[in-house]
Amino acid sequence: MKKILCIRGQQAHDILGALKAVATGEGAFPLHEVHRATLQAIGQYLFQSEIDMDALNGSFSGLADKIADPEIRQGIMNMAGILPFLEEENKQARIDTFEHLGSELGFNKKFARELHKLCHNSIAELAICQLRPLSREGGMPLWKAPVIMTESFFHLDGDKKLLAQYESYREMDDGIFGKVLIDYYRDNHFPLPGTPGAVFSNMLKIHDMHHVIAGYPTTPLGEICVIAFADGMMDGDLSKALIGYIAQFQVGLQFDKGLDVWRNQFNPDFVIRAFERGSECNVNFDRFDFDFTDLLTEPLEVVRERFNIFVEGAIIQGPEDLWCGDMGIVGMRQSPDKIEQKQSWFQKLLAASGKNVAD
């Protein structure tokens, strides 16, 4: 378990006070409702504390004397990094306050510089440092993804044996992990892994298993939650990726060129609870050497129980819930919260090969 989850009592108040200072620009503007809800969720799910946000002193003065552990300090910075991207206004001012917090805790300005660049859709620095942990979430080394994409372009990525394996899951009883995974592909209109030209199904089959085992759909909120869950579970640090996906789906700043851009999709109770659920998991399956094969023939409920994953807090609660969520299937979702923009080169490449941009 990450040390930030062990914080209780006065230290919890001190940290939430520092986060409130970032959320309000050290008192320069009022506490927005989305920030209030986020701080309350952090207090409830991570610190097991109910704290009056209005009475809380929004300051990080003296915080360095109260919090000496470097890992906890980094955890504070990771949580604070979310806050500038929860509402449209005052992003830059909040990042300036975030930089001040970092200075108080002994960090250089690099993190704040990355967040400022994200505000202008420049994500190179932020993304590069997350490539390795994100490749673990995707279930493949960095070099392998472009190989699969190239093969898919020419429909050379088919695997008859793998496709037959997935087809066999259709005959399983309801509730078996493999059968639930088939339901996931069905609800999303995704081709099964092993299908020639199915770039996302073949490249992200491990990530899709993570959706199912954690209980999150392919909606923008579901994608945020999968990353938050992984960040709580893995020994690496996915916090900057989490910030990037929140920015993409909450205020429309594109971090992942392969995904659509949205506004107002962040739900603090689900996202912060996802981080807590990931931290409660007793098996780190975000590893290249982790093999799901045998688990896919077992009841999903049994696998979750063995891994200490509780359905409480998941978005998908049972078979009546669709794995595409309530927005419809990926690539065909229409909403006033979806931001229409020019396709990226990555999206154009996929379109040229006849693919839809998927999960």
Asked whether residue 358 is assigned to any structural domain, the reply reads no
* C-beta separation of 42 from 78 below 8 A: no
Asked whether residue 125 is assigned to any structural domain, the reply reads no
Query: Where a domain ends, among 120, 149, 173?
Result: 120
pTM of the entire predicted model? 0.92
Alpha helix ranges (H) inside 191-219: 199-203, 205-214
Tell me, yes or no, whether 116 and 190 share the same domain: no
pLDDT of 357 reads 41
pLDDT of 359 reads 41
Tell me, yes or no, whether 22 and 152 share the same domain: no
Say if residue 47 is exposed, middle or buried (CB neighbours under 10 Å; 0-12, 13-18, 19+). buried
What is the rounded CA–CA span in Å between residue 288 and residue 290? Answer: 6
Q: What is the mean pLDDT of residues 123-141?
A: 76
What is the rounded CA–CA span in Å between residue 300 and residue 178? Answer: 8
**CB count in 10 Å sphere of residue 25:** 20
Asked whether residue 271 is assigned to any structural domain, the reply reads yes
Mean of the per-residue pLDDT values for the chain?
91
- The count of structural domains within the chain is 2
- Could you report the per-residue pLDDT of 229-245, keeping only the tens digit for each? 999 999 888 999 999 99
Rounded to the nearest 10°, the torsion over CA 235, 236, 237, 242 is -90
Query: Where a domain ends, among 95, 120, 145?
Result: 120
Domain that holds residue 55: 3-120
Query: Where a domain ends, among 96, 120, 144?
Result: 120
**DSSP H/E element including 15:** helix 9-23
Tell me, yes or no, whether 71 and 181 share the same domain: no
Asked whether residue 212 is assigned to any structural domain, the reply reads yes
What is the rounded CA–CA span in Å between residue 25 and residue 227? Answer: 27
Return the structure tokens found at 280: 């409660």
Asked whether residue 326 is assigned to any structural domain, the reply reads yes
